[in-house]
Chains A and B, each alone.
Chain A
Amino acid sequence: MTLITTRPEAGTARPYVFPALRRVTAHGGTVIAAHLPGQVLATAVLLLDASAARETEGREGTATVLAKSLEEGTRKRDSAAYALALEGLGAELSPSVDWDAFRIGVSAPAPRLAGAVRLAAEAARTPKLDPEDVIRVRDDEVTALRMDWAQPGPRADAALRGDLFATEGRYRKPLHGDPASVAAVTVDDVVAFHQEWMLRPGVLLVAGDLDGLDLSELAEAAFAGTAGQALSPAAPLGLAIPAKPHVILVDRPGSVQSTLRLGHRAPERATPDYVPMTLAATVLGGAFTSRLNHLIREVKGYTYGIRGSYAMTRRAGRFEVAAGVQTAVTGAAIKDTLGEIRRTQQEGVTEEELAVARSWRAGQLSVEMQTPGAIAGALASLVVHGLPDDYYETLRREYLEATVETVSEAARRHLAVDGLTLVVEGDGEKIRAELAEFGDLTESAV
């Protein structure tokens, strides 16, 4: 048998193009639509400036309860009729809340998209919000959070956030609140949140074969009956990194793995260092061949996978390493992880590693942006972060042109190994003693 021994050279790359955009405005709202010729499915997302950050302290989770109440009936029809009408079009509502926006998404074969958008808008603008329904949805959400918090991860995430953003109001609580804050949400909170934030026109993002979609009809469906001006964004929270590590144990008796969440704060999404930071994190913990995954998974066999990344929203950012490691090697895994973060911070990246990160991030812009849903998500980033229509072409070029110097400099400035908060969720009895060697140990109450 003769296999070809030499690796083939790359062929000629076709130029990268982000889909062409079209805009239509009506009633103060804007439709931004990306043309995807040949796609049978189309996606629409109503993007509203009604993020979790707008919730009142102590009532974290209000927007999530609202999101889940939207389908409990509208002024026009009850919940069963609503479900049948929407699902009869092949669509399901996906309302979601993040730190920057409230999104109500629907996907359907293109000829049915207008009907689905009409129903999505009906739920978003005119939900019934019957007090009994809202209370039931809230109670169900408390139960659902408790279910979720029984999995490894969410309690560790909450402990990390609580420490990183301890003095930042809403930002110190999880995106969807915690079981106590959701339990405190009242019908009035939900109704007031809806009244205050959900009635401005907002933006409708559309991705699909535009030859079969009437954008004016979609605009009418999304924005008719709305009023109000767009809100101006609030200032970023700024940076606060402690002088020495915090170690927090979240006890999970009997756990066969320890869940690691190691993090510190970082700049917000608008930082000019966005591209080199992303590439530095890719080298450290983003790609499969990253320093962390190579050492902790492929060499040591401590984990099924480990990731390091920056998450950056409009007002805040954070660096985080996340992994589940076998209980018996918890201390060793943390030590090795800190070693790689320190090495990246102090010594930067090599050209060989950066070459992988650059090409991967650039290639992902076409490989991972094929579906209407993915393109609608990309459009949302343009709107939320005020980026130009040619942003993805620019981003691709910036990835490909990034140098070892700029990326190493970003690692030096935006990694802080000695200011990390080390949250470990695991079997306290087995791991407590070894955790103490990484810094002052506290036990989390979450």
Chain B
Amino acid sequence: MGRVTSPTAPVATTGYPWPIETTRLANGLRVVVSEDRTAPVVCVNLWYDVGSRHEPPGQTGFAHLFEHLMFEGSQHVKKTEHMRLVQGNGGSLNATTNPDRTNYFESMPSEHLELALWLEADRMGGLVPALTQETLDNQREVVKNERRQRYDNVPYGDAWLRLLPLLYPQGHPYHHSTIGSMEDLNGAALDTFKAFHQQYYAPNNCVLTVTGDASPAEVFALAEKYFGAIEPVPGIPPAPDGHLAGPATEPVRETVTAAVPAPRIYLSHRTYPFGTAGYDAITVLATVLGSGRGSRLYQRLADGKRIAQPDYIGSYGVDLAHAPAPLIITATAKDGVDVATLEAGLDEVVQSLIDEPVTDEELNRAKALLTTSWWRQVSTVGGRADTLGRYTTQFGDPATAGYRLPAWQAVTADDVTEAATRTLQRNSRVTLTYLPEEGPTA
């Protein structure tokens, strides 16, 4: 191949060049404001420090089902009013739940900032009186449909649900999936949800972030006005401890025969928690390995050996912060390629990260791609608010958001080799294989 000189990535001194101001209300609510007057848009984002890792046995899926209930009305907001008021004033909204946390956010034309804060305060402080059995029953059905649509009715759709219990031992907070089991969802009782809200949806368990067309002084005053009277909850119990002594010591395999169009393999390893230097090395490693056409997986398996389908190859870390986070590596066999050949190919490329140092060109490429993806993430007020909410919740200081990009850029080839040597050994590997069912395929 023709060798090209790849330019050295420009080094960013911070990944967060916008101003950040913070305060803490007497009830413990942390408020973060990042002003940017470029567009007449604000984002209001709340990170509640509660996720599926907090769920006890028999209550899987409750944190996420609860997220749905937060849209069904509160003390002064009627059942369908939340969505109507946000969309009916030009906004976009959503919420997500993952193992670590639950977030709620709306981007609005900035003249509706106060409305967004009122809505959020009302459901933080006044959800329980509005919660009814009818609402719970309806949203339970919606969530079961979500599970069918996203996981059960899609080829390979349950891979993540299968990987988690293989990666994390019984009783570990990441052992079960966020969507939960149909059985647990069916058993969900109204009182459990009322207690859930009273326990976790407290101002002292939340970070409120506002980004965009608003000043810190204005936001701090409004935060006090709307959230200030909400009582803190003392002694919120932490999630079960996610500490693990190190990488797994025994390889684990699961093979699923299902209605899938081609054999597919997922390899996964526990690595380091998100936010550590080790995980920064894993982030760069995942990009070297599986992101883009210049990645090792693409170059060696889709292009070189031509055993993997080019559209379905990749590797990525799942950014979890409370225990070593998983790296997932996947490839799907081309027509006529058997699954053993594909697995041998994948294994060889993964092993290469231990045996074959990453070149400057590979490292520059990965850092350049990560740089673009970082700036894409913070190119909207919504992306910025969520980023600041994360760093405040998980690391205690929103300004730490600015360190991530420089930290990626500081990763060396040796760091990548060391991370690979420590986390990608064959004896710590989870291998999940999907095989098509016998007989004619569609």
A355 touches B88 (CB 8 A): yes
A7-B4 in contact given A40-B375, A289-B84, A367-B41 (Cβ < 8 Å):
no
The answer to whether A38 has its CB under 8 Å from any CB of chain B is yes
B225 touches A83 (CB 8 A): no
Residues in B with CB closer than 8 Å to A301 are 137-142, 145
A81 touches B4 (CB 8 A): yes
Of B51-59, B147-155, B268-276, the one touching chain A: B147-155
The answer to whether A364 has its CB under 8 Å from any CB of chain B is yes
Chain B window 304-318, contacts with chain A (Cβ cutoff 8 Å), 1 for yes, 0 for no: 001001111000000
Q: Please tell me the size bucket of the interface on A.
A: 35 or more
Taken together as a complex, chains A and B put the C-alpha atoms of A6 and B122 apart, in Å, by 10
A14 touches B111 (CB 8 A): yes
Chain B window 139-183, contacts with chain A (Cβ cutoff 8 Å), 1 for yes, 0 for no: 111101110111011110000000000000000000000000000
Which residues of B from 418 to 442 have beta carbons under 8 Å from A?
A: 442
Residues in A with CB closer than 8 Å to B225 are 4
Residues in A with CB closer than 8 Å to B253 are none
Which residues of A from 332 to 378 have beta carbons under 8 Å from B?
A: 355-356, 359-360, 362-364, 366-368, 370-373
The answer to whether A89 has its CB under 8 Å from any CB of chain B is yes
Closest to A13 in B: B111
Taken together as a complex, chains A and B put the C-alpha atoms of A215 and B142 apart, in Å, by 50
The answer to whether B24 has its CB under 8 Å from any CB of chain A is no
Residues in A with CB closer than 8 Å to B240 are none
Which residues of B from 89 to 140 have beta carbons under 8 Å from A?
A: 89-92, 107-115, 118, 121-122, 125-126, 137-140
A81-B84 in contact given A89-B7, A107-B376, A111-B10 (Cβ < 8 Å):
no
The answer to whether A169 has its CB under 8 Å from any CB of chain B is no
Closest to A8 in B: B114
Residues in B with CB closer than 8 Å to A162 are none
Contact of A363 among B91, B152, B312, B379 (CB under 8 A): B91
Contact of B89 among A87, A255, A359 (CB under 8 A): A359
Residues in A with CB closer than 8 Å to B41 are 366-367, 370
Closest to B92 in A: A367
A37-B38 in contact given A77-B4, A370-B380 (Cβ < 8 Å):
yes
The answer to whether B301 has its CB under 8 Å from any CB of chain A is no
The answer to whether A299 has its CB under 8 Å from any CB of chain B is yes
Closest to A361 in B: B90
Residues in B with CB closer than 8 Å to A368 are 92
Which residues of A from 309 to 352 have beta carbons under 8 Å from B?
A: 324-326
Residues in B with CB closer than 8 Å to A136 are 306
Contact of B293 among A38, A83, A356 (CB under 8 A): A83
Taken together as a complex, chains A and B put the C-alpha atoms of A362 and B262 apart, in Å, by 45
The answer to whether B335 has its CB under 8 Å from any CB of chain A is yes
A3-B125 in contact given A78-B1, A150-B261, A360-B87 (Cβ < 8 Å):
yes
The answer to whether A238 has its CB under 8 Å from any CB of chain B is no
Which residues of B from 252 to 299 have beta carbons under 8 Å from A?
A: 259-262, 292-294, 298-299
Residues in B with CB closer than 8 Å to A4 are 76, 118, 121-122, 225-226
Which of B3, B80, B87: most chain A Cβ within 10 A? B87
Closest to B293 in A: A83
The answer to whether B75 has its CB under 8 Å from any CB of chain A is yes
Give the shortest distance, in Å, between B348 (CB) and chain A (any CB).
18
Of B241-249, B350-358, B365-373, B394-402, the one touching chain A: B365-373
Taken together as a complex, chains A and B put the C-alpha atoms of A10 and B83 apart, in Å, by 16
Taken together as a complex, chains A and B put the C-alpha atoms of A2 and B115 apart, in Å, by 17
The answer to whether B219 has its CB under 8 Å from any CB of chain A is no
Give the shortest distance, in Å, between B164 (CB) and chain A (any CB).
21
B148 touches A256 (CB 8 A): yes
- When A and B form their complex, which 9 residue pairs have the shortest distance between CB atoms, in order from nearest? A363-B90, A301-B141, A88-B6, A90-B368, A356-B88, A83-B294, A90-B372, A83-B293, A14-B40
With A79-B303, A109-B10, A294-B80 given, name 5 new contacts (CB 8 A): A90-B368, A91-B368, A257-B149, A360-B89, A363-B91
18 contacts across the A-B interface (CB closer than 8 A): A1-B230, A1-B231, A14-B40, A38-B38, A41-B372, A76-B2, A80-B294, A81-B3, A89-B368, A90-B371, A257-B153, A301-B138, A303-B142, A304-B148, A363-B91, A366-B40, A367-B107, A367-B109
